[in-house]
Amino acid sequence: MKLTAYEDKTGFLITGGAGFIGSHLVDVLMSQRASVHALDNLSRGSLENIEKWLNDQNFMFVKGDLRNLKDIVKAMKGCEIVYHLAANPEVRISSVDPKVHFQQNVVATYNLLESTRKAGNVRTFVFASSSTIYGEPSLIPTPENYAPLEPISIYGASKLASEALIIAYAHIYGLRAIIYHLANIVGPRSRHGVIYDFIQRLRKKPEELTILGDGTQSKSYLYITDCIKTMLQGLEKTQKQVEIFNVGLEDQIDVKAIAKIVIEEMGLEGVKIIFTGGVDGGRGWKGDVKNMLLNISKLKSIGWKPQHKSAEAVRLTARALMKALN
């Protein structure tokens, strides 16, 4: 999507800018000659993702951590719009070390908001939240106004806590806040999630694939280009002080079908699939939401339309990851 209202005169700060989603957002904004600052501690991101922009005069990369206020101040200088994408995305860590998500998600968000308040130049704060904030909703597809919000993982709780902080800061300090409840986002450069995990396991042991859970876990998988389009469209077409959007698809795909697609894309035959059976009724792990489908009618009302369905997104992602690994 082509930016109009902010192009050539606005500075963007992207936390997690060398990561999967962040680097794709960097690509789009830089291609439109925006001024972009990327802050990343490179624990999951990679300079390879943004290598082509490192010497561009409109781009600045800051290797830093959101737990360090000096790093934030350096990266935020001259920026009016913040895209907060940095987070620890590993839901499974929740049951082992909940402090990780508190520090890297909640505390990091608080530090960024405080720096935003003190800087005084940031007008808009965009946050990549998660569908996990809904927990296991009784209403599917799940709308933005669903309640009560009862996340079943520390990751989901950390995202919900971050949302609460952002909304409060918006109302108290006059920020404009846009919050996106993201479904599973997939595509080139992803190094996290079921598709990447399946490929890695099959590369090590091509005759066998172990799947956590019973394989019926069903969710939407949104391709990265559709996700980035959403993040820009929401910025352009909404003006409310606080706006929340579900970002996903109207279809789902289960883990069994994902495994089949990955096996096909890797050109493998006769693969033995082993299901662990999982926990709590077939989940892959404690805190794994087994069935998620977001109501995206609000997002569609501002003109957003995805180009890829879940199965196609999975196939394109498997193909891209295999190409990158070869």
Say which of 6, 83, 146, 155 is annotated catalytic: 155
Residue 34 has pLDDT above 60, yes or no: yes
Residue 3 pLDDT grade (very low, low, confident, very high; cuts 50, 70, 90): low
- Do residue 215 and residue 236 come from a single domain? no
Interacting residues of 139 by C-beta distance below 8 A, sequence separation 6+: 146
Asked if 215 and 122 sit in the same domain, the reply is no
Residues 275 and 146 in one domain: no
> Which stretches of 166-252 are assigned E, i.e. beta strand?
176-182, 184-186, 208-211, 218-219, 221-223, 242-247
Question: Which of 174, 184, 83, 187 shows the shortest CA–CA distance to 132?
Answer: 184
Give catalytic status of residue 155 as yes or no: yes
**What is the chain's mean pLDDT, rounded?**
93
Q: What is the extent of the structural domain holding 96?
A: 11-186+221-247
Rounded mean pLDDT, 171-197: 96
Residue 257's CATH number: 3.90.25.10
Residue 284 to residue 131: CA distance in whole angstroms: 17
- Tens of pLDDT, residue by residue over 213-253, are 999 999 999 999 999 999 999 999 988 999 999 999 999 99
Query: What is the domain-level CATH number for residue 39?
Result: 3.40.50.720
Summarised one tens digit per residue, pLDDT across range 290-299 is 999 999 999 9
DSSP 51: G
In a domain, 3, yes or no: no
Based on DSSP, count helices (H) and strands (E) in the chain, helices before strands.
Answer: 10, 13
Q: What pLDDT, in 10s, does the model give residues 65-75?
A: 999 999 999 99
